[in-house]
Amino acid sequence: EEENFKYNLKDFKPNKFEDFNSLFWYQIDVDKFRKGSAENIDSVAWNISWAELTEEEKAFKQKNSWYDMPYFRRYGGDLQGIIEKLDYLQDLGVDVILLNPVFFSKSSNKLEVADHFYISPDIATGSKKDYEVIEKRSGTSESDNLFKSLLDEAHDRGIKVVIEFPLHTGKDHFAYKDIEEKGKESLFYDWYVHEDDANSGNIVMLNHNNLEVKEYLLNSLIKFRDMGLDGIMVSSLQDREILNYIRDNSDIFVCALPLDYSEVFEDLDSTDAIFNLRSFADILTLFSYFSSYNSSSLRTTLSLNTLRYPDSFIGSIVSPISTIDTERALSSFINIDEINTRAQENKNYKLIKPSMLGESAEKKLQLTLILLATYPGSFMIAYGDEAGMWGASDPDSRKPMIWGEIEPYDRDYDVLSKYPDPNFKDVDNVNDLVFYSREVDRDIYNFFSSFMSLRKEKEDIFKYGELIFPPLPQDVSGEVLVYYRKFRDRAAVIVVNLSNSRQKFNLPLPFKGTYVDPLSKKNYDNIVGIDDFEIDSKSAVVLFAD
């Protein structure tokens, strides 16, 4: 524990796509992010209560549960809306936008792909001519051109664009409809896996061993890569045949996101980067039990989540704080025993705005951001994490983005009896309900914005800097975690106090110089260490030396 530990990124084998190393990813559900100027579809009001059903939904609910509603509810977010908010994303320090599927599909989440060669008009221009182009499968649609505009505008701001790429289709796909009409006589019959357990609902699996299928998917990617698309994300590494074919025959970046926290990718030959959900899950476990862990356990957790992968992947491991499929980080911190739970499966899940239960969740979110944003590798948030959005797993994780200019939003509510000894003001005791407002959490946003601006300004330290764990005084070695990111004559010093009390100790520094704490505006001039350095309980400090 006392030995000076170094983790030197300069010695690692470079990744094929080194420009994807150590980046800030931002995941977007297009329909829920921002509604642009076009009226593409019939949609509900953006600020409608998430828990309140429309009249049409009330009729539909007679045959379904409430949680079937959000899967069909459309908010009208579109590509134009993203373009209009690119400056917002740039100011936040975003390096990569990850979009849910954008290909032609009638489904709200676009997973039931009807044609991989065209952008879905209902999230783009809404042009009737586009549907005619798609029907004929000839030419370029206006929606395709709008997608190219998004790519161009993002690149002008230094932002990459990656899209989720389904390796299956829906039953509305032109090939599958031909099979439904002609059966085994269809020229597309061998495109699909005809086994009952291979398909789920309206999603049908393509036969990835079929050369025509490989060419179809590859040519789709080449079309959009030529427009400027930077990469694709797949949700599984089980389809290695098609992934290897794509990587062998194109120069497009391929990354993989597991379906849940339990899946850990080990065989990484078929991808250029992976998302490591275990990072947040392990940090959540530690943060949920402050009294039962120390700096050694946190250091071990961080190290294992890095060292379980090959050297060439260190920079391109993406550690999500939240995703649009898993529960939001803030809700995770107030539901510690129910990680990755859908609220409809657990009636005790706390849906309430976490800040109503105190500041603990916000502090843990800040600590998590500092840890994942300063450790080797990339990290990701889901849209709205920076605004304090919360929610259980999908669909609650896909609520519409909260924008200050759209406030006020309608109130939401939860079951009052879930909360022992509540001190809530807005309640309905007769119906056992507690109400709460939805708005941008300015404290969380300001912290995200300030800290990510700093990280962007010092990005060379976090992209190339070696990781060093210095020895600490014995009396705080179990309470405080300290590590350096050092690059040439520049460094960042990260100090995390895991204890329940304020700590004072002599803080060692990587070299003599002037150190600045930009968040608190403190300066430490021409020093080799800080005597009697103080840090509040359950907090973090980041010092920079230039």
Q: Cβ distance 495 to 476 under 8 Å? A: no
pLDDT in the model for residue 116: 97
pLDDT in the model for residue 69: 66
- Does residue 305 sit in the same domain as residue 427? yes
Q: Cβ distance 159 to 97 under 8 Å? A: yes
At which of 423, 443, 460 does a domain end? 460
- Does residue 402 sit in the same domain as residue 384? yes
Q: How many domains does the chain have?
A: 2
Q: Give 36 or 53, the one with higher predicted confidence.
A: 36
- Does residue 375 sit in the same domain as residue 471? no
Highest mean pLDDT among 66-70, 205-209, 266-270: 205-209
How far is Cα 48 from Cα 52, in angstroms, rounded to an integer?
Answer: 8
Q: Dump strand ranges (E) for 416-521.
A: 427-428, 433-436, 466-469, 480-487, 490-497, 503-517
Work out the average pLDDT over 263-292.
68
Asked if pLDDT for residue 428 goes beyond 80, the answer is yes
In a domain, 112, yes or no: no
List helix spans (H) across 183-292: 211-227, 240-248, 278-288
Work out the average pLDDT over 399-427.
91
pLDDT in the model for residue 243: 87
- Does residue 342 sit in the same domain as residue 451? yes
How far is Cα 94 from Cα 84, in angstroms, rounded to an integer?
Answer: 15
Work out the average pLDDT over 239-263.
81
- Does residue 307 sit in the same domain as residue 367? yes
Band of pLDDT at residue 1, cut at 50, 70 and 90: very low
In a domain, 308, yes or no: yes
pLDDT in the model for residue 479: 81
Residues 40-86: pLDDT tens digits?
A: 667 888 998 888 878 777 777 666 666 666 667 889 999 999 999 99
Q: 144-153, 164-173, 521-530: lowest mean pLDDT where?
A: 521-530
In a domain, 170, yes or no: no
pLDDT in the model for residue 26: 98
pLDDT in the model for residue 11: 39
Asked if pLDDT for residue 14 goes beyond 50, the answer is no
In a domain, 187, yes or no: no
Work out the average pLDDT over 10-30.
76
In a domain, 362, yes or no: yes
Residues 462-475: pLDDT tens digits?
A: 988 988 989 888 77
Q: 11-25, 32-46, 174-188, 399-413: lowest mean pLDDT where?
A: 11-25
In a domain, 53, yes or no: no
Q: Cβ distance 368 to 447 under 8 Å? A: no
Band of pLDDT at residue 2, cut at 50, 70 and 90: very low
CATH number at residue 366: 3.20.20.80
Band of pLDDT at residue 330, cut at 50, 70 and 90: very high
pLDDT in the model for residue 309: 66
- Does residue 474 sit in the same domain as residue 528? yes
pLDDT in the model for residue 70: 63
- Does residue 282 sit in the same domain as residue 427? yes
Residue 192 DSSP one-character state: B
Asked if pLDDT for residue 507 goes beyond 50, the answer is yes
Asked if pLDDT for residue 288 goes beyond 50, the answer is yes
At which of 460, 476, 496 does a domain end? 460
Asked if pLDDT for residue 6 goes beyond 60, the answer is no
Q: How many CB atoms lie within 10 A of CB 227?
A: 18
Can you give the pTM of this predicted structure? 0.92
What is the number of helices (H) and of strands (E) in the chain?
16, 22
CATH number at residue 522: 2.60.40.1180
In a domain, 134, yes or no: no
Residues 133-164: pLDDT tens digits?
A: 999 998 889 999 999 999 999 999 999 999 99
- Does residue 471 sit in the same domain as residue 443? no
Between the CA of residue 309 and those of 268, 285, 302, 315, 422, what are the distances in Å? 9, 21, 12, 10, 45
List helix spans (H) across 228-342: 240-248, 278-288, 295-307, 329-334
In a domain, 63, yes or no: no
Q: Give 235 or 154, the one with higher predicted confidence.
A: 154
- Evaluate the omega torsion of the peptide bond into residue 408 and state whether it is cis, within 30 degrees of 0: yes
- Does residue 426 sit in the same domain as residue 282? yes
At which of 406, 430, 460 does a domain end? 460
Band of pLDDT at residue 201, cut at 50, 70 and 90: confident
> How much is the mean pLDDT over the chain?
86
User: Backbone phi, then psi, for 464, in 5-degree steps?
Assistant: -120, -10
How far is Cα 72 from Cα 63, in angstroms, rounded to an integer?
Answer: 14
- Does residue 429 sit in the same domain as residue 527? no
- Does residue 475 sit in the same domain as residue 445? no
Band of pLDDT at residue 360, cut at 50, 70 and 90: confident
Highest mean pLDDT among 182-186, 364-368, 538-542: 182-186
Q: Cβ distance 510 to 486 under 8 Å? A: yes
- Does residue 438 sit in the same domain as residue 510? no
290: left (phi over 0), alpha (psi -120 to 50) or beta: alpha
Angle in degrees, 0-180, between the axes of helices 142-156 and 211-227, rounded to the nearest 10: 60
- In percent, the amount of the chain with pLDDT more than 70 equals 84
Tell me which residue has tokens 């539901």.
335
Domain span at residue 494? 465-545
